[in-house]
């Protein structure tokens, strides 16, 4: 499995996290870590998301940018992880 780290900036809406996680799941990625912080003005949230999959992370990134409340998606890095069954 390959781990990918994403930095996502979104507008603060109650449903944005649900939509984001639904896209992650539907695109065949598994959430490994997630850290979310609200900005000082309270209008936006910053999400650091680590996901894993054999699929190219660009498939996920392009779908996340299409979500209405997402301002930006940045791919930070990717690392190979050996996962035992």
For the stretch 25-75, pLDDT in tens is: 999 999 999 999 998 888 999 999 999 999 999 999 999 999 999 999 999
* CATH number assigned to the domain covering 2-76: 3.30.70.260
- As given in the structure block, the two tokens for residue 51 are 């996901």
How far is residue 62's CA from residue 1's CA, in Å, rounded to a whole number? Answer: 20
Q: 85, exposed or middle or buried, with CB in 10 Å at 0-12, 13-18, 19+?
A: exposed
Q: Where are the alpha helices (DSSP H) in the chain?
A: 16-26, 57-65
pTM of the model: 0.85
């Amino acid at each position: 499995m390959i781990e990918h780290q994403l930095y996502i900036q979104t507008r603060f809406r109650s449903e944005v996290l649900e939509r984001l996680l639904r896209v992650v799941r539907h695109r065949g990625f598994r959430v490994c870590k997630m850290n979310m912080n609200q900005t000082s003005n309270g209008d936006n949230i910053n999400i650091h998301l680590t996901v894993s999959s054999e699929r190219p992370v660009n498939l996920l990134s392009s779908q996340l940018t299409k979500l209405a409340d997402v301002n930006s998606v940045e791919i930070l890095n990717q690392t190979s992880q050996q996962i035992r069954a």
